[in-house]
Amino acid sequence: MSLIVHKYGGTSMGSTERIRNVAKRVAKWARAGHQMVVVPSAMSGETNRLLGLAKELAPERPDTAYYRELDMLAATGEQASSALLAIALQAEGLEAVSYAGWQVPIRTDSAYTKARIDSIDDARVRADLAAGKVVIVTGFQGVDEAGNITTLGRGGSDTSAVAVAAALKADECLIYTDVDGVYTTDPRIVPEARRLHSISFEEMLEMASLGSKVLQIRSVEFAGKYKVPLRVLSSFTPWDIPIEEEARSGTLITFEEDEDMEQAVVSGIAFNRDEAKISVLGVPDKPGIAAQILGAVADANIEVDMIIQNVGKEGRTDFSFTVHRNDYARTMDLLKEKVAPALGAQEVLGDAKICKVSIVGIGMRSHVGVASTMFRSLSEEGINIQMISTSEIKTSVVIDEKYMELAVRALHRAFGLDAE
Q: In the complex with ligand ASP, which residue's Cβ is closer, 139 or 361?
A: 139
Task: Check residue 77 for interaction with Mg ion (CB under 5 A).
Answer: no
Rounded to whole angstroms, how far apart are CA atoms 340 and 348? 7
Which residue among 139, 142, 181, 268 contacts ligand ASP (CB under 6 A)?
Answer: 139
Of 42 and 190, which CB lies nearer to ligand ASP in the complex structure?
Answer: 42
Kindly state the number of chain residues that form the binding site for Mg ion, as judged by CB under 5 A: 2
State in angstroms the smallest separation of the CB of 154 from Mg ion: 8
Closest to ligand ADP by CB, 142 vs 268, is: 268
Binding mask 376-415 for ligand ASP (x = CB under 6 A): ----------------------------------------
C-alpha span between 340 and 284 (Å, rounded):
11
User: CB under 6 A: which stretch of 154-162, 265-273, 286-294, 408-416 binds ligand ASP?
Assistant: 154-162
The secondary element (H helix, E strand) that includes residue 340 is helix 340-343
Least distance (Å) between residue 9 CB and ligand ASP = 6
Put the strands of the sheet holding 316-324 in their side by side order.
304-309, 316-324, 275-284, 347-351
Q: Is residue 155 near Mg ion by the rule CB under 5 A?
A: yes
Give the pairing type, strands 172-177 and 117-120. Answer: unpaired
- For residue 184, list its beta bridge partners: none
Counting residues that bind ligand ASP (by CB under 6 A) gives 13
Residue 249 in the binding site for ligand ASP (CB under 6 A): no
Beta strands 354-360 and 268-272 are antiparallel
Name which of 155, 160, 199 is nearest 177 in CA terms. 155
Which partner in ligand ADP, Mg ion, ligand ASP, none is near 159 (CB below 5 to 8 A by kind)?
Answer: none
Q: How far is the CB of 246 from ligand ASP (least distance, A)?
A: 21
What's the rounded Cα separation, in Å, for the pair 58 and 111?
20
Contact between 155 and ligand ASP (CB under 6 A)? yes
**Positions 350 through 369 that interact with ligand ASP (CB under 6 A):** none
When the beta carbons of 171 and 178 are compared against ligand ADP, the nearer one is: 178
Count other Cβ atoms within 10 Å, centred on residue 51: 17
DSSP 335: I
Given the complex with ligand ASP, which of 96 and 215 has the nearer CB atom?
A: 215
Taking CB under 6 A as the rule, does residue 108 contact ligand ASP?
no
Edge-first strand listing for the sheet containing 96-99: 96-99, 134-137, 35-40, 3-8, 172-177, 230-234, 251-254, 198-200
Letter for the amino acid at 263?
Answer: Q
Contact residues: ligand ADP, CB under 6 A:
9-12, 41, 155, 177-179, 182-183, 185-188, 212-214, 268
Helix (H) or strand (E) holding 88: helix 64-91
Amino acid at position 65, single letter: A
Phi/psi of residue 200, each to 5°? -70, 150
Q: Is 77 in the site for ligand ASP (CB under 6 A)?
A: yes
> What residues make contact with ligand ASP under the rule CB under 6 A?
9-10, 41-42, 47, 77, 139-140, 154-158
